[in-house]
Amino acid sequence: MNTLLVWSVDVAQILLGIAMACATFRLVCGPRAQDRVLAFDSLYVNAMLLLLAFGIGSGSTLYFEAALVIALLGFVSTVALAKFLLRGEVIE
């Protein structure tokens, strides 16, 4: 009965993996630094969604906390990188 659920979790993980590959492409050969920061932002959001999908597939509550930590630290790191591009230093 849960075959549909298992199948949909697999499909969602494949789609999110392709999305992470696209973000990694932009991260590696983005022409300028702000493209790389934007791709990094997209990459951690996709990784967080991948962990949520994996948590649904495994039925465990551990992956939710990992996704929350990725969301918090990813926001802080992206803001630090954008602040560095804006000012030349992170903490003034």
Partner 1 sequence: MIQSPEVSSLVAVITATLLVLGAATTLVGALGLVRLQSFYQRAHSPTLGTTFGVACVALASMIYFSAAGTRPILHEVLILIFVTATTPITLIILVRATRLRDESIPTAESSARD
Beta carbon of residue 22, minimum distance to partner 1 (angstroms, whole number)? 4
Nearest residue (CB) to partner 1, 83 versus 92? 83
Q: With binding defined as CB under 8 A, does residue 23 bind partner 1?
A: yes
* Interface with partner 1, residue 16, by CB under 8 A: yes
Give whichever of 61 and 92 is closer to partner 1, judged by the CB atom. 61
Q: Which residues contact 30 (CB under 8 A, 6 or more apart)?
A: 36, 38, 39
Q: Collect all residues with Cβ–Cβ distance below 8 Å to 17 and sequence separation of at least 6.
A: 50
Distance CA 8, CA 56 (A): 10
The total of other beta-carbon atoms located within 10 Å of residue 26's CB is 16
CA nearest to 41, candidates 90, 6, 79, 69 = 79
Position 75 contacts partner 1 (CB under 8 A): yes
Which positions lie near partner 1, rule CB under 8 A? 1-2, 4-9, 11-13, 15-16, 18-20, 22-23, 25-26, 31-35, 37-39, 41-42, 45-46, 48-49, 52-53, 55-59, 61, 64, 67-68, 71-72, 75, 78-79, 82-83, 85-86
